[in-house]
A and B are shown apart, each in its own frame.
Chain A
Amino acid sequence: MTEALATTGFSREAVIALSRRKGEPEWMLQKRLQAWEIYEQTPAPLGRRGDLGTLQRLARFHFQELYPYLPADGNGALPAPIEEGLRDALVGASERSGLVLQRNSSVVRVELSEELRSRGVILTDLDTAVREHGDLVQRYFMTQAVPLATDKYTALHAAFWSGGIFLYIPSGVEIEEPILAQIWLDAPAAAAFAHTLIIADELSSARYVEEYASAFEGEQPSLLSAVVEVFTKNGARIEYTSLQDLGRNVWSVMHKNSIHEADSSVSWVMADLGSRLTFSNIGSNLIGNGSATELVGVFFSDQDQRFVIKSLSNHVGLSTNAETLVHGALADESRVEFDGMIRVQPGAQQTASFLSEHNLLLSKHCRAEAIPGLEIGANEVSASHGATTGQVDEEQLFYLMARGLPRDEAERIIVQGFFEPVLQRITLDSLRTRLRRNIVRRMRGGHESEADWIEAQERWEIEGVDEGAVSFDRPSEEEEIRLLPE
């Protein structure tokens, strides 16, 4: 049986072998088998006719050339790149209250401050959670937030998940210092499944920072399949931040979703920089009255990168709020599809929902497609959505050049300015800085003085300025829909 795990390709035998190897309870094995069946029966999502074809390309990916399970030794020393990546993490050792490190198919480090442990916070790998908190996992794992049958890829994830992170925050516990998770892929032809399950009990709060990174050479691709499920009970608050900076030999599929009880909130921050192809789904289900969510997204694509980003604000309860704000720049031959949906269910009165997505095209060969969608089933709603795709404005360029700035620098400054309103919404300073540097580095014709510019910007910011820099007043074809009771 274990042979099925040691060879490439996904199969029912491999599912059984994986579950046996982990010594899982029968319910988890059954769940995996159910998922495998769905995987086999479900066609891959192919997108719409006439779109940029990224999902079709993903569907043609050679899944059967991947090793479904690549365990890593938890006790040994970490390979140098991972060690280094951990040292340069968005949240340093002295700033975090917890750490989880997944390498390929295994969680190799879990740390949690003694203080949080004593207050009942649980942070563990998902295998341990299955053993020790089986009732919670059984209830929440791929049942409501990201049901295993969401699409073919979630079914594959449910059948082959390995490693995984479980975080439970008891009622009333507020975690100030972020918990850091790093997910590493350091082998070719590997399929890594990263699962994050966060349950925030009533009136609790936490900041969770997830980094996806890879460290291996060569053309042979690996796959990262990530599912993040967040449950916020009454009044709970979660701030989830992720940075996807995978190598260009990694394909990734991500599904992230939150289930809200009353007056709870989730703030999603998503930065997509790396990978060859990423299919990213982010959703919030605002079920409880008065619940709220925001999604702040940044991406930068170049070369032949492809991203598909789908967001969903699903308004179910009364008086729920959602705001989605995504800015991205495309260079070279890269392609990005953004599909942002606001769905207001019947009865979801007093909904306020806002979505705005802006793409900046930096080359003649890149392509962006933005489709904001709005489905309104209630009549007392304030919702607006808009999307723009444009190039760097020639008049803006001329204005800066007329002040002595060379064209490449002027362009870079405009691009930085384009991202600034979104960057200002990111509370994690280190991520903001990382993104600024990445943007500057990836703009053509960089000068040594770039660092100087960034430092200047950071310096002004530290001195408490730049608030006026936040502006959403960009020219757009924004569509305003406002329905009020008659």
Chain B
Amino acid sequence: MASELVIKNLHASIEGKPILRGVDLVVRQGEVHALMGPNGSGKSTLANVIMGNPKYEVTDGEIWFKGENILEYSPDRRARMGLFLAFQYPMAIPGVSVANFLRRALEAVREGPRPVGEENPSGRPAPRKTIPPSEFRNLLREKMKLLKVDNSFINRSINDGFSGGEKKRAEILQMALLEPEIAMMDETDSGLDIDALKIVSDSVNALRGPKLGLLVITHYQRILNYIVPDFVHVMFDGRIVRSGGKELALELEEKGYEWLRPEGSEVAVND
């Protein structure tokens, strides 16, 4: 059975300020959903809340993944279950090489949803199953080739001194490596020139298939010319106000967002 991510009536706020005001959404493995909407409508917040960013407080609603309510799960547990978020602003972590980090991440994700040592009251965690460096390297090189990422990349610190485009490509590289079941791409297209956009889109398309469900968050219709969605949702003021097929994206391109603004909604501020 295909894995499902089910969002029910999700409300979330940051520092007491409500951002999500009742989101309902279902993303299944094998489907590609586009989530569009103006700045500040809550798109990034939704992705962050699904991934478990502690900055946001969920005030109501549920998030179900693979039949479990994951609301109380830590971000790492969600990742181990097969969720992935390609960040809009990937964090730089100086001093930690991409290669080391990705190897650890791959080991963790392959280990599955049970965090290390959870079922071990003695507090003595089981030895981690390691991936031999040679195997890991080959795997990484293969994915790097796909994304046309320079070889020197693996030796650099995570996102440290990366250009905007490099960071976005690195995120997709991680997605390709970790093979999630449901992945969210948070404005991966912003900051990419047309060549980079093409490379990223080609790699994402190469990953498409029955095993991957995608939620592509974007302002612009542009990336959807390359990654053609099965469903398009429009978010406004913390709610999904319209859902449709891929033609909805084209309609938005033509008409803008304003015609979808719900009555009584305030002009959005940046989130």
Contacts and interface: CB of A to CB of B under 8 A. Distances in A.
B75 interface: yes
Contacts of A419: 95
Given A403-B178, A447-B116, A468-B160, A396 B97 contact: no
Contacts of A420: 94-96, 157
Interface in B32-59: 51-55
Given A404-B109, A452-B128, A468 B75 contact: no
Contacts of B154: 465
Contacts of A417: 93-96, 157
Task: Sort chain B's interface into a size bin.
Answer: 35 or more
A442 interface: no
Interface in B61-96: 74-76, 78-80, 84-85, 87, 90-91, 93-96
Nearest to B116: A406
B75 A398 contact: yes
Contact of A395 (B52, B91, B115, B116): B91
A394 interface: yes
Nearest to A464: B155
A405 interface: yes
Given A394-B54, A473-B160, A456 B100 contact: yes
B127 A448 contact: yes
Contacts of A398: 51-55, 75, 91
Interface string A362-382: 000000000000000000000
Contact of B79 (A404, A409, A465, A468): A404
A315 to B, nearest CB: 29
B103 interface: yes
B246 to A, nearest CB: 28
A441 to B, nearest CB: 16
B203 interface: no
A465 B79 CA distance: 28
A404 B178 contact: yes
Contact of B155 (A410, A448, A456, A468): A468
B265 interface: no
Contacts of A402: 51-53, 75-76, 78-79, 84-85, 87
Interface in A450-483: 452-453, 456-457, 459-460, 465-469, 471, 473-474
A413 interface: yes
B76 A406 contact: yes
Interface string B94-131: 11110111011100110100011100000001011010
Contacts of B97: 457, 460, 465-466, 468-469
Nearest to A456: B100
A402 B130 CA distance: 19
Which of A399, A419, A447, A456 has the largest count of B CB atoms less than 10 A from its CB? A399
Which of A401, A402, A417, A452 has the largest count of B CB atoms less than 10 A from its CB? A402
B209 interface: no
B80 to A, nearest CB: 5
A228 B127 CA distance: 45
Interface string B6-30: 0000000000000000000000000
Contacts of B117: 447
Contacts of B152: 468
B262 interface: no
A399 B90 contact: yes
B201 interface: no
A187 B85 CA distance: 57
Nearest to A404: B108
A403 B80 CA distance: 8
Contact of B108 (A393, A394, A403, A418): A403
Contacts of A457: 97, 100
A405 to B, nearest CB: 6
A405 B105 contact: yes
B161 interface: yes
B93 A473 contact: no
A312 to B, nearest CB: 28
B51 A421 contact: no
Contacts of A393: 91
A203 interface: no
A394 B56 CA distance: 12
Interface of B: 51-55, 74-76, 78-80, 84-85, 87, 90-91, 93-97, 99-101, 103-105, 108-109, 111, 115-117, 125, 127-128, 130, 133, 152, 154-157, 160-161, 174, 178
30 contacts: A394-B55, A398-B52, A398-B53, A401-B75, A402-B75, A402-B84, A403-B76, A403-B79, A409-B116, A410-B76, A417-B93, A417-B95, A418-B94, A420-B96, A447-B125, A447-B128, A449-B127, A449-B128, A449-B130, A452-B128, A456-B100, A459-B133, A465-B154, A467-B155, A468-B97, A468-B157, A468-B161, A471-B157, A473-B94, A473-B161
Shortest beta-carbon contacts, A-B, top 9: A420-B95, A417-B95, A404-B108, A468-B156, A465-B155, A417-B96, A449-B128, A401-B75, A399-B91
Interface of A: 393-396, 398-407, 409-410, 413-414, 416-421, 447-449, 452-453, 456-457, 459-460, 465-469, 471, 473-474
Given A401-B74, A404-B109, 19 more contacts: A398-B53, A398-B75, A399-B91, A401-B79, A402-B75, A402-B76, A402-B87, A409-B116, A413-B101, A417-B93, A417-B95, A418-B95, A420-B95, A449-B127, A449-B128, A456-B133, A457-B97, A457-B100, A468-B97
